[in-house]
Structure 1
Amino acid sequence: MLNINQNQQQKYKTLSTFLLSPKFAADKVTGLFISCTLFLLAFLALLLLVNAFDSRLIDGMPVWHKPIRFGLSFVLHFITLTYLAQLVDEKYRTKYRFSFFAVAAAISLWLEFLYITIQAARGRRSHFNFETDIENYLYMAMGVGALFLVLVAFVLGIMIWKYGKKDQSGLRLGSIAGLTIGSVLTLVFAGYMSVDIPYITNRLNHTPNVVPYLGWSRISGDYKPAHFIATHMMQLLPLIGIWADRSKLKSYISPRKIVMLGIIILTLLSIFAFILAKLDIPIFPV
């Protein structure tokens, strides 16, 4: 019995410490994710410099805050993909099916981020902009790109479930749940936000007071907080799993139960934020 417990603890230690001393495989998918992350970091440094000298505003917020915000979010997304992809054996990770989603996500990232940046430079909206035909078409194209950026995470979650190490670690459950549930909720909230006409025509066009960088309205209900929570479940749940695997609490409660609690709390928080938006109640009122 003692040996079994020691083996189980060793599994937890191995899985939860790979973030601290990563050993990335030299395959094309991992390399692609790392390249995307480095590209974003270099671009962000440039945007931060430009932001310091440009005082223009869009929707009550400095024009460069949106590309900076999206850049930071994309960095987190691709760092997450890079690390969690290592939980899947290379022979499955590099198969053409996942490679397709990885390449599609990378192309979507480059095109979407460049368009957001170009629109910021022009002092124009990138999202919910229907003022010209070209901007309307490009906004719809961004929707397709965003779909691939989310789908790659969902597919990776399924691959960890099917092909990852079958153990009881919190990291495994947190990774699977974060990537799949987070992806589904992200698509649901984003989809609803994009078809809510009163939200697009009234609330978005009358938002002079927003939370800095986040762009959440402080005078009306906004779907972006719900979308934010759902999207970052992809990072939060794996991190909760890592913490649970390393915490002394695992002597009293299993890491999987801690992760399950995190799943419930974050899911309810995102739904609560969505309901507030439906009721036209700002999450951080003035």
Structure 2
Amino acid sequence: MKFALSIWLYSWTMAIILNYVADQRKVKIYSWVAVVAMCFEQAAITIQALRGQQSHFNSSDAFGIIIFALMGIFILTITLWTAYITYIFFKQKEFKLQPALVLSLKFALVYFVIFSLFGGYISSLKGHTIGASDGGKGLFFLNWSTTFGDLRVAHFFGLHSLQLIPIFGYLVNKYFSTNKALQLVKLFSLIYLIFIIFTLIIALNEHPFYAIKYYS
């Protein structure tokens, strides 16, 4: 369910952003790559769930190893394509958007690419929990560890900067002058990055992001 919701948010957000990219030929290619990659990801997760198996970090059988490897290939492909679209967006001179919104989208895309690649680092560790094995007590629904460090926290906030920073950009653009809105977007983006790095440092030091009692 978490991945389904995340893919849904990513799809709708990118659909909106891509509308403002001038090179629509590249956008069309990117869109098809995204559709194929995200359909495979969700299918792989669903199939493994139906089999009673983990989709991530699964080395219990050959099928699990192959599925996880293919998931990594698809995610890397769409991440590199997103980086390319981000490059095109940065090179673009004219936009049908106010400057604060353009700046917020640039920050959001860069953060999204960086923390998508961070997911590859988590995969290389063959687990997201620091200080223990995966599968311990966690927060309701999100399941972030409440007893040890969890790299998924930084990954989550990094990916969803794609929504949060543009929303902030939209709000400040609505209520402040252009120059003030630009300054606020820069400040918010900096604070947001510091916050993500803070959650990462906490996790690497084997401490939970938000330690509360878990009730099953």
**Which TM-score applies when normalising by structure 1?**
0.68
The counterpart of 1:217, out of the listed 124, 133, 145, is 145
- The answer to whether the Cα contact below 8 Å between 1:105 and 1:145 also exists between their aligned partners in 2 is no
> Structure 1 runs of 4+ off > 4 angstroms?
197-202
2:189 corresponds to 1:256: no
Q: Give 2:174's aligned residue.
A: 246
- The answer to whether the Cα contact below 8 Å between 1:194 and 1:200 also exists between their aligned partners in 2 is no
- The answer to whether the Cα contact below 8 Å between 1:158 and 1:180 also exists between their aligned partners in 2 is no
- The answer to whether the Cα contact below 8 Å between 1:88 and 1:164 also exists between their aligned partners in 2 is no
Deviation at 1:176, TM superposition (A): 1.2
The counterpart of 2:114, out of the listed 184, 193, 207, is 184
Letter in 2 for 1:155: Y
Deviation at 1:153, TM superposition (A): 3.2
Q: Give 1:151's aligned residue.
A: 80
**CA separation of 1:130 and 1:88: change in aligned 2, threshold 3 A:** same
The counterpart of 2:162, out of the listed 208, 219, 234, is 234
Deviation at 1:245, TM superposition (A): 0.9
- Distance in 1 separating the partners of 2:165 and 2:78: 18
Deviation at 1:220, TM superposition (A): 0.8
The counterpart of 2:14, out of the listed 81, 94, 98, is 81
- Distance in 2 separating the partners of 1:211 and 1:149: 29
In the alignment, structure 2 segments of 5+ residues that lack a partner are none
Deviation at 1:162, TM superposition (A): 1.9
Deviation at 1:111, TM superposition (A): 0.9
Q: Give 2:25's aligned residue.
A: 94
- The answer to whether the Cα contact below 8 Å between 2:149 and 2:203 also exists between their aligned partners in 1 is yes
Deviation at 1:197, TM superposition (A): 5.3
**CA separation of 1:198 and 1:176: change in aligned 2, threshold 3 A:** closer
Deviation at 1:148, TM superposition (A): 2.9
Q: Give 2:194's aligned residue.
A: 268
Q: Give 2:70's aligned residue.
A: 141
- Distance in 2 separating the partners of 1:77 and 1:224: 17
**CA separation of 1:122 and 1:202: change in aligned 2, threshold 3 A:** farther
Give the SS at the match of 1:254.
helix
Letter in 1 for 2:153: P
Deviation at 1:137, TM superposition (A): 1.5
- Distance in 1 separating the partners of 2:3 and 2:65: 20
- Distance in 1 separating the partners of 2:86 and 2:124: 28
Please give the residue correspondences for 1:96-135 in structure 2 after superposition, counting only pairs within 5 Å.
98-135=27-64
- The answer to whether the Cα contact below 8 Å between 1:220 and 1:281 also exists between their aligned partners in 2 is yes
Higher mean alpha-carbon deviation, 116-125 vs 198-207, is at 198-207
- The answer to whether the Cα contact below 8 Å between 1:158 and 1:176 also exists between their aligned partners in 2 is no
Give the paired residue count.
211
- Distance in 2 separating the partners of 1:264 and 1:282: 23
**CA separation of 1:83 and 1:235: change in aligned 2, threshold 3 A:** same
Root-mean-square deviation over aligned CA pairs: 2.2
- The answer to whether the Cα contact below 8 Å between 1:157 and 1:175 also exists between their aligned partners in 2 is no
- Distance in 2 separating the partners of 1:71 and 1:282: 25
Which has the higher Rg, Structure 1 or Structure 2? Answer: 1
**Which TM-score applies when normalising by structure 2?**
0.88
The one-character-per-residue Cα deviations of 1:23-62 (angstroms, maximum 9, x if unpaired) are xxxxxxxxxxxxxxxxxxxxxxxxxxxxxxxxxxxxxxxx
Q: Percent identity?
A: 26
**CA separation of 1:260 and 1:123: change in aligned 2, threshold 3 A:** same
